[in-house]
Amino acid sequence: MNAHQESTPHRLARALGWGSLALGGLQLAAPDTVRKLAGVDDSRASRTLVPMAGVRELLHAGPLLVSREPAPWVWTRVAGDVMDLAVLGRALGSRSGGRGLRTGAVTAAVAALTALDVYTAARGAGATAHRRDEDNALEAHAAITINRPRAQVYRFWHDFSNLPRFMDHLESVEPRGQGRSHWRTRGPLKRTVEWDADIVEDRPGKLIAWQSVGRTAVENHGSVWFSDAPGGRGTELRVHLAYEPRAGRLGTAVAKLLGEHPDQQVHDDLRRLKQVLEAGEVVRSEGSPEGTRAMRLLRQRPAQPLVSG
């Protein structure tokens, strides 16, 4: 993550953000200077267009300077460049002499900046895609405190048939004896994916680790650690999941099981586990009738009774 943040597109995007901030500030504070510089001080329209461009530059600057991944935001600058080039192109057509030269020089500068913007935005996108290829495994961590004794929490998890009660993407897990279990997902695209998994490590009350076996669309392994929460607050539970989807459509679909924010999704799973163990049920509201679910947060129902319970 850190290596990515210090990458060239990242640094370029930040620099372009400072550039936008400076230019926007200048266009707003001293529009007449900018108009003269660009040779458009004879145009009435430029009196409004220049400060407007200034506001736009400030809007570019915001995400470029603040976002953790600023490179994709450079595309907003590219869009602005296109607008500027269009306006400058028209101005260039109707000007000659000193003004024409100045307009031409500014147009050339904007064109050069456009090239730099496109380069940065494209490299930024490339870097993101590259990172995903290279780092094919999807990993997720989450931790939660459950106000129940460690032995009870361990026992509940150890019975893998309980997992679908709180793991949103699982349809069923059937124990097959001797540490083996058969997992079936509730996948996207209405396709289910199935695999067998073996418990590879089992330390009662402390750790359960499992691993998929044989050929499957998605190799995966996971572990859950149990420890006493300090002050008699029950059990601290830490989960680590890793999915290594094989290439191909099915593998990609399975990768999406964990969604865009795998940590968030696993955390939601743990919230439901906490609800089941502490409150005895998954909490449901009219806005979130399925209970805690990351996707639902973005698309709430109105808080109105459901038509069918």
Partner 1 sequence: MKATCWTGRNSVEVTEVPDPKILNPRDAIVRITSTAICGSDLHLYDGYIPTMEKGDVLGHEFMGEIVEVGPEVTDLKVGDRVVVPFPIACGHCWACEHQLYSVCENSNPNAGLAEKFMGHSPAGIFGYSHMLGGFAGGQAEYARVPFADVGPIRVDDDLPDEQVLFLSDILPTGYMGAEMCDIKPGDVVAVWGAGPVGQLAVASAYLLGAERVITIDRFPYRLDRVREYTGSETLDYEEVDVLDALADMTAGRGPDACIDAVGMEAHHPTGPLHAYDRAKQAARLETERPHALREAILACRNGGTISVIGTYGGFLDKFPMGSLMNRSLTLRGAQCHVHRYLRLLLDRIRDGDIDPSFVISHRLPLDQAPQGYEMFKHKENECNKVVLQP
Residues that bind partner 1 (CB under 8 A): 145, 147, 233-234, 264, 267-268, 271, 274-275, 278-289, 291-294, 296-297, 300-309
Closest contact distance (angstroms) between CB of 278 and partner 1 is 5
Closest contact distance (angstroms) between CB of 260 and partner 1 is 13
Closest contact distance (angstroms) between CB of 37 and partner 1 is 32
Tokens of 120: 């940065």
Closest contact distance (angstroms) between CB of 274 and partner 1 is 6
Return the closest-CA partner of residue 181 out of 151, 208, 204, 206: 208
Tokens of 227: 């420890």
Per the CB < 8 A criterion, the answer to whether 241 and 222 are in contact is: yes
Residue 42 vs 286, nearer CB to partner 1? 286
Residue 23 vs 266, nearer CB to partner 1? 266
In three-state form (DSSP H/G/I as H, E/B as E, the rest C), the secondary structure along 272-304 is: HHHHHHHHCCCCCCCCCCCCCCHHHHHCCCCCC
Closest contact distance (angstroms) between CB of 228 and partner 1 is 14
Residue 59 vs 111, nearer CB to partner 1? 59
Closest contact distance (angstroms) between CB of 279 and partner 1 is 4
- Count how many residues are written for the chain: 309
Which helix (H) or strand (E) is 227 found in, with range? strand 218-228
Residue 60 vs 271, nearer CB to partner 1? 271
Distance CA 156, CA 154 (A): 5
Gap between the terminal Cα atoms of the chain: 45
Distance CA 213, CA 162 (A): 20
Closest contact distance (angstroms) between CB of 188 and partner 1 is 20
Which helix (H) or strand (E) is 177 found in, with range? strand 170-177
Distance CA 19, CA 38 (A): 17
Per the CB < 8 A criterion, the answer to whether 169 and 188 are in contact is: no
Residue 35 vs 271, nearer CB to partner 1? 271
Per the CB < 8 A criterion, the answer to whether 253 and 187 are in contact is: yes
Residue 91 vs 140, nearer CB to partner 1? 140
Residue 115 vs 283, nearer CB to partner 1? 283
